[in-house]
């Protein structure tokens, strides 16, 4: 879902997860990739909103993809 709008994440187990370690119930968002580009708190807030809108289906994939591209185009 997030990969479709150009946000890369990976699944991880979380501490104290009652399920098997083979059940990945956590989502890892690596901030070094974006902070290295120079993004700060305002961009992290925008990124969090984009993720929220994607997971809760508040916007279409096309709308979200445009938001991601608009955000990242400022930091190339």
The residue ranges of every structural domain in the chain are 3-73
Residues in the chain predicted with pLDDT less than 70, given as ranges, are: none
**What pLDDT was estimated at residue 7?**
95
C-alpha pair distances (Å), 10 with each of 59, 63, 64, 76: 22, 23, 19, 23
- Bridge partners of 10? 28
**What pLDDT was estimated at residue 19?**
85
H/E element, 7: none
The CA distance from 68 to 64, in Å, is 6
């Amino acid at each position: 879902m997030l990969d479709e709008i150009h946000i890369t994440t990976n699944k991880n187990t979380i501490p104290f997860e009652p399920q098997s370690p083979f059940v990945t119930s956590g989502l890892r968002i690596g901030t070094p990739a974006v902070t290295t580009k120079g993004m700060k708190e305002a961009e992290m807030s925008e990124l969090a909103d984009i993720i929220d809108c994607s997971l809760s289906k508040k916007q279409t994939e096309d709308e979200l993809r445009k938001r991601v591209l608009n955000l990242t185009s400022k930091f190339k």
